[in-house]
């Protein structure tokens, strides 16, 4: 495989990122859950008030993956952390070291910025991802259950 290059994504990458998001959603058996479009990606990742950041992974001049992350906060540590929302490498490039390079790149950002944690979620059936993350030294947090409020439930709760 060609040398992996990781770069900060730009607004011009919005269509590429959306393509990768759709590919990831297909892999995760949730294609119909993708509700954003190119304009939504451009606004949420590259707009003036963007809270998340994106990276593009390239090999041989071709984009082969991406990652999206944002900062969270630990009251117990009194420090920021990084939450990895997405890490995706094209199927034909998996096993090439690209995913590890993306993960290490973000880990280096976390260390350089004094973050206390680097966290993410993985689907419980995604054995290849679980093996990959555990091989990197990550440990599952089985004592925590993720809760989510979205769509109509979020709207109804907010309204009171």
Distance CA 65, CA 158 (A): 36
The whole-number pLDDT of residue 142 equals 87
Per-residue model confidence as pLDDT tens for the chain (160 residues)? 579 999 999 999 999 999 999 999 999 999 999 999 999 999 999 999 999 999 999 999 999 999 999 999 999 999 999 999 999 999 999 989 999 999 999 999 999 999 999 999 999 999 999 999 999 999 999 888 889 999 999 999 999 9
| 3-class DSSP state of 40 | helix
Which strand ranges, in their side-by-side order, compose the sheet holding 52-59? Answer: 4-8, 52-59, 62-74, 79-89, 118-120
| The pLDDT of residue 29 | 93
H-state helical runs in the chain: 14-27, 38-46, 98-112, 127-135, 151-159
User: What is the predicted pLDDT for the residue at 58?
Assistant: 97
CA atoms within 13 A on the CB side of 1: 14
Which residues are marked as active site?
133
pLDDT of residue 1: 56
Query: What does the block give as tokens for 16?
Result: 């590429």
Q: Which residues contact 99 (CB under 8 A, 6 or more apart)?
A: 65, 87, 89, 132
What pTM, to 2 d.p., does this model score? 0.93
Residues 57/65, Cβ–Cβ less than 8 Å? yes
State the DSSP H helix or E strand holding residue 8, giving kind and residue range, or none if neither.
strand 4-8
């Amino acid at each position: 495989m060609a040398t992996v290059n990781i770069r900060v994504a730009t607004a011009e990458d919005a269509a590429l990122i959306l393509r990768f998001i759709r590919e990831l959603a297909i892999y995760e058996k949730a294609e119909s859950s993708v509700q954003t479009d190119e304009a939504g990606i451009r606004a949420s990742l590259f707009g003036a008030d963007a809270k998340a950041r994106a990276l593009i992974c390239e090999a041989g001049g071709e984009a082969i993956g991406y990652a999206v992350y944002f900062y969270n906060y630990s009251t117990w540590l009194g420090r920021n952390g990084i939450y990895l929302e997405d890490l995706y490498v094209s199927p034909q490039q998996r096993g090439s070291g690209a995913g590890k390079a993306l993960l290490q790149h973000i880990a280096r950002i976390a260390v350089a910025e004094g973050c206390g944690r680097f966290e993410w979620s993985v689907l419980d059936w995604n054995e290849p991802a679980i093996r990959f993350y555990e091989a990197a030294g990550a440990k599952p947090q089985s004592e925590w259950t993720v809760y989510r409020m979205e769509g109509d439930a979020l709207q109804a709760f907010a309204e009171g």
